[in-house]
Chains A and B, each alone.
Chain A
C-alpha cells in the first residue's frame, strides 16, 4: 500500500464526439477503503470508471490510480485494478469456473495459480456447484457473484464495482453488500458506483457524489451524517409534551411529519442538550424509542444540499 489515495482526479473533463460532456472539471482525491460513488444514471460514474481503467482518454485534466498515472502507464494501473461492469458480460456457453480461471490467467496469473484462485474466490462469493454449470442458466444473483469473482481473482488493490446490487432482490442485495464489506477486511479498496444512497450508507466510509459530471459532495460518511446542535428523537408521538417541558428553557422543538421531535437549543453545547433532553424525557415518563444527533440518512443529507443549491 504505497499511495494513500485510491485515485486522484485533477480537472478531469471528458467530452464525447457527439457533444455530450460526461465529466466537467472533476477534481477529487478519493481515499482507500470503501468509497461510494453516487450519482444518477448519466451523471458520469461509468465514464469515470472507464477513465480510471484507461479505456478512454480524458479531453483534459489527469487522473492517477493507486499512485500510477493513467495517461503514462495504463497497463500498470490495470494490473492493480479489478472491474465489475454493470452490464451483462458473461458468455452463456462457458462455466463460471472456467471463466474466472481464464480471466485470472488474463490478469497474469500462471494457469495453475489461476485455477486455484478462481476456486478460492468462487467459494468466497458463494457460488458452489453452480460454478461447473454453463452460465446461461444463471440467475441475476449468480451472475453478479461471478462478475465480482472475476474482478477479484487476481487480488487487486482496488476494485471498481458498477451498480453491484442492480436487479437483486432484498436478500441478494444484502448478501452482495456483505461481500463488498468483507473486501475491506481483505485489504482490497472498493469504489462502489451506485444511485442508491442506502447501499453507500451501509457499506462505505467515504462518499463522493457527482451530478452532471461535476463534484457535488465529498467526505467521510460519518461526517456527512453529522449535524450540529440538533437532537432528533422519537417519544412515541408525545412530542408536544416534550415541547412544553423544554420550551421554557430556551429550547425549540419542532415536530416532524412522522411524529418525531427535533430539538435545538440556542447557544448550548450539544452535550448539555443531550443531558437536558434525557432528563426531561425521564421525568415525563415518555418512552424513548430513538435518539440521534445526526441526519437519519444520506438521502436526507443530499436532499437538503440539493434544495440548498436550488436556492442560490
Chain B
C-alpha cells in the first residue's frame, strides 16, 4: 500500500480541502509509523508548534517550511530529543523519549552537528554501530558503500568536505538499520553526482518500507526525493500531500503555462476563444496562458496550434514546481 497517495491533498487555513477522491486526510499517512497528535511545544512566550496533528509512514516525506516554522522542533520531538508541552508523539506506537527499543529504530541526521574530526569514517560508523549494539562487521562496510565513502573510509573525517561529512553522518545513521530516518538538509554541500547518489539512496530506503523524513530548503531537491510533503507555517500544518495535488486544490489561483511558438499572437487569440482560459499574455515569440482548468487547455493547445500551422517549440507549466506551490502557500 503506498502512502501519501499523490492524488490526495489538503491545505489548512482557508484553502479548500481535499481534491480527489481518496481514503482519508492527506495529513495522515496509511500505515503510519510516526504519529503526531495535537502536539504543542513552546519555549517561554515563543510557540514553536501549535496543536499539530499529522503522521508519517513508509516512503520518503518532505518536511518543509520557512525558518521558524517549527520544522526543527518537530524533528526533535519526533526523535525524542524534546518533549511535548501538550499532545503526543508516537513512533511505532511508543514514546520516543521513553522507549529504548524505539530509539534504536530511530535515526536523526541533524544539519550542523559536528563529528569528531579525529575519527576516520570507518571508526565513526563503527562507534555508532557499537552504541546501538550492532555487532555485524558487514553492516559498517555496507553503509559506507551505500554512501560511496568506501574508498576514503580510513581518512579522518576532519579532513572531509562538507558533502563527505554529510555522507559519513548518513552512513552512521544507517548502520543500526533504522525504521525511521529523519534528515535535516542531507544534501548540503554535495556536488550533483553525490546528490544523485544520495537521492537514489533515500528513495531506495523509502521503497524498502522505511519512513524517511527529509527537511530541506532546496525545494528542487525535495521535489525529486519525496512524493509526499508536509508543509509547516507558524507552527501549524499548512498543507499536506503530493505537491501537484495540493496545487490542484488551490483552484482559485489559475495555472500559467508558457508556450513558445512563432505565431504567438494568433495562437493567443485562438486560446482566448476557449472557455477554460482566463487570460493570455503575449510576447515576441511566446505567450503565457492562464487557466484554472489546465487539463482542458492542454487538450486544446496542440489542436489550435496545428490548425494555425504554428510550431510548438516549447510548452512549460510555470507553477508546477514545489517552489511555486510554496510561494503560493506562504503568500
Task: Establish whether A and B are touching in the complex (CB under 8 Å).
Answer: yes
Contact of A279 with B315 in the complex, beta carbons under 8 Å: no
The yes or no answer to B117 lying at the interface (CB within 8 A) is no
Chain B residues in 8 Å Cβ range of A41: 161-163, 189-190
Closest residue of chain A to B304 (Cβ to Cβ) is A282
Contact of A282 with B305 in the complex, beta carbons under 8 Å: yes
How far is A41 from B164 in the complex, measured between Cα atoms in Å? Answer: 9
The yes or no answer to A303 lying at the interface (CB within 8 A) is yes
Contact of B67 with A290 in the complex, beta carbons under 8 Å: no
Contact of A287 with B295 in the complex, beta carbons under 8 Å: yes
The yes or no answer to B303 lying at the interface (CB within 8 A) is yes
Interface size on B, residues (CB 8 A): 42
The yes or no answer to A255 lying at the interface (CB within 8 A) is no
Contact of B190 with A292 in the complex, beta carbons under 8 Å: no
How far is A42 from B163 in the complex, measured between Cα atoms in Å? Answer: 9
Contact of A288 with B315 in the complex, beta carbons under 8 Å: yes
Closest residue of chain A to B67 (Cβ to Cβ) is A169
How far is A221 from B323 in the complex, measured between Cα atoms in Å? Answer: 21
Interface size on A, residues (CB 8 A): 44
0/1 per residue, B281-311, Cβ < 8 Å to A?
A: 0000000000000110011011101100001
How far is A282 from B320 in the complex, measured between Cα atoms in Å? Answer: 23
Contact of B306 with A282 in the complex, beta carbons under 8 Å: yes
Binding-face segment, A29-37, A74-82, A154-162, A171-179: A171-179
How far is A291 from B303 in the complex, measured between Cα atoms in Å? Answer: 14
How far is A84 from B284 in the complex, measured between Cα atoms in Å? Answer: 37
The yes or no answer to B279 lying at the interface (CB within 8 A) is no
How far is A290 from B256 in the complex, measured between Cα atoms in Å? Answer: 12
User: Quick one: which of B67, B298, B317 contacts A172, CB cutoff 8 A?
Assistant: B67
Interfacial residues of chain B within 26-56, with CB under 8 A of chain A in the complex: none
Chain A residues in 8 Å Cβ range of B323: 170, 174
The yes or no answer to A136 lying at the interface (CB within 8 A) is no
Known: A173-B217, A282-B305, A292-B316. A42 touches B311 (CB 8 A): no
- Min CB–CB distance B148 → chain A (angstroms): 12
A contact set with B: CB distance below 8 Å: 38-43, 139-141, 168-174, 195-198, 211, 233, 236, 271, 274-275, 278-279, 281-282, 285-293, 297, 299, 302-303, 306
B contact set with A: CB distance below 8 Å: 64-67, 161-164, 189-196, 217-221, 294-295, 298-299, 301-303, 305-306, 311-317, 320, 323, 326-327, 330
Given contacts A41-B189, A290-B317, A303-B196, could you give 14 more A-B pairs where the C-beta distance is less than 8 Å?
A40-B191, A41-B161, A172-B217, A173-B218, A195-B191, A211-B191, A271-B311, A281-B302, A285-B303, A287-B298, A293-B314, A299-B196, A299-B220, A302-B192
